[in-house]
Amino acid sequence: MGSEIYTYQIIADAENDIDEIVKHISVVLSNPEAAEKFLADLEQKLEQLCEMPKMGKIVENEFNKRKDFRRVIINNYDLYYFINDEDRIINVLRVVSARRDQHLILSSIIK
């Protein structure tokens, strides 16, 4: 079963997204406990994705040329990723607030 588990890679844009989310929750909202919970929930979701990479919903819109571009929800945030089955890697592209313009986000990340 160990060979079936994937790993994950968080690209720079997603790292920046996560840093901004944590800073916003901790500093702007003055709730460091909620920021820690977000990080714990994110880690849990990434572990789930490594075990079940296709659990996310396939993103369908006019920008999507990939058949493996997916989205999962973590609290009030959307995590966008694609699966590299050959190398068994989940590539995390963005983590953004569900309140943001998803159409704009998708147009910038789907190639």
Print the domain residue range for 41. 2-109
Domains contained in the chain, number: 1
CATH of the domain at 29: 3.30.2310.20
Whole-structure pTM value: 0.86
Check residue 87 and give its pLDDT: 95
C-alpha distances (whole Å) from 18 to each of 37, 38, 92, 109 are 13, 9, 11, 16
Instruction: Please state, rounded to an integer, the average pLDDT across all residues of the chain.
Output: 88
Check residue 69 and give its pLDDT: 85
Between CA 85 and CA 68 the distance in angstroms is 10
Q: What value does the mean pLDDT take over residues 1-24?
A: 90
Check residue 73 and give its pLDDT: 95
